[in-house]
Amino acid sequence: MTHPQVICMGEILFDRLSDELGKPLETVEFWTDYPGGAPANTACGLVKLGIPTAFIGCIGEDQSGDQLVELLTKTGVNITGVQRHSSAPTRIVYVVRDAKGDRSFAGFGERKTTEFADTYLQSEQLPKDLFKTAKFLVLGTLELAYQPSQDAILTALKLAKNYKVKLFVDINWRPMFWQDPDQAIKLILNFVQNADFLKLTDEEAELLFNTVDPEAIAKQLQIQGVFVTAGERGCTYYLGGNYGKIPAFSVNVVDTTGAGDGFTAGIIYQFCQLGIESINNPQIAEKIVRFASAVGALTTTKPGAIAAQPTLTEVETFLEKFL
């Protein structure tokens, strides 16, 4: 068994996506469930690109949980860190879409955000051996919203520091996961001080740092790399001292779910292939972000986050068209 080079930790869930564009939550009758959760999306994206990756998270001992374990296993993700909760259910997120197909999160059905299995991730059950050989730990911020999973994340941070594992944080701001969104911002700002690399959307950058300039954010946090993504407006980055802007690739967009997680997978794939020291070269820094943007773009061309993720060959073939 290959030792995973990357550990993705946090939520794995089902996005229950409305099949009826432009309808409000109350009137939607038809839904399709897609497996999701940013860290799980990134883990699957990395494996499809050829990087051995582990996922750590907690799901229910229910049918949804079984389906997600099966998906991770089939994709080839290492699941030694997957915990099952005997009574709390696997999380389902309702997602409605406007007339253009753009998504907005519409809550958790009849349940409170604190009732789901992912909130019960236990720090004492983390597989420490994974950290001994990993190069990167990928964390979002949603699981900071609940005490047990927050403890598990802080334990993972300590393990990462002990074993010199680089920390990549993807903000993934979703106010509805938090009971007190104001307290959340303080907690997140505190948490990102630990990052080596940070990915966030332009809205998240405004919210947390009052700027969309990746260089300003990188200097404020004193970290090696910041990526600010803005959907069809592309991405700006500050990586190893190099500032740049990559326009978005023009593709036929079917579903934007998981595009950002595909982008994260693309960045970390390149880090694993080229080595972190290579980011100081401006051409290589640009190549890394272009590759990641292509992974993100290709992820939007089919429905669902994980099902749509490209293989390495697909990304390389796609990029050849733009040489």
pLDDT tens for 274-305 read: 999 999 999 999 999 999 999 999 999 888 78
pLDDT on residue 260: 93
Task: Copy the structure tokens of residue 131.
Answer: 């950290």
Q: Considering only CA atoms, which of 159, 168, 170, 154 is closest in space to residue 133?
A: 159
Q: Write the pLDDT tens digit of every residue in 35-54.
A: 999 999 999 999 999 999 99
Which runs of E-coded beta strand occur in 194-313?
197-201, 225-229, 235-239, 242-246
User: Does residue 1 surpass a pLDDT of 60?
Assistant: no
Rg over CA atoms, the chain:
18
Residue 88, token pair as written in the block: 């709390």
Average pLDDT over the chain, rounded to an integer: 94
Backbone dihedral region for residue 214 (phi beyond 0: left; psi -120 to 50: alpha; all else: beta): alpha
Confidence (pLDDT) at 257: 81
For 105-114, what is the mean pLDDT? Answer: 91
pTM greater than 0.85: yes
10 vs 223: CA distance, rounded Å? 22
Q: Which of 97, 99, 110 is nearest to 18 (CA)?
A: 97
Domains of the chain: 6-12+38-87+123-321 (3.40.1190.20)
pLDDT at 256: 80
pLDDT at 317 over 80: yes
Structure tokens given for 164: 């010199």
Average pLDDT over residues 205-211: 97
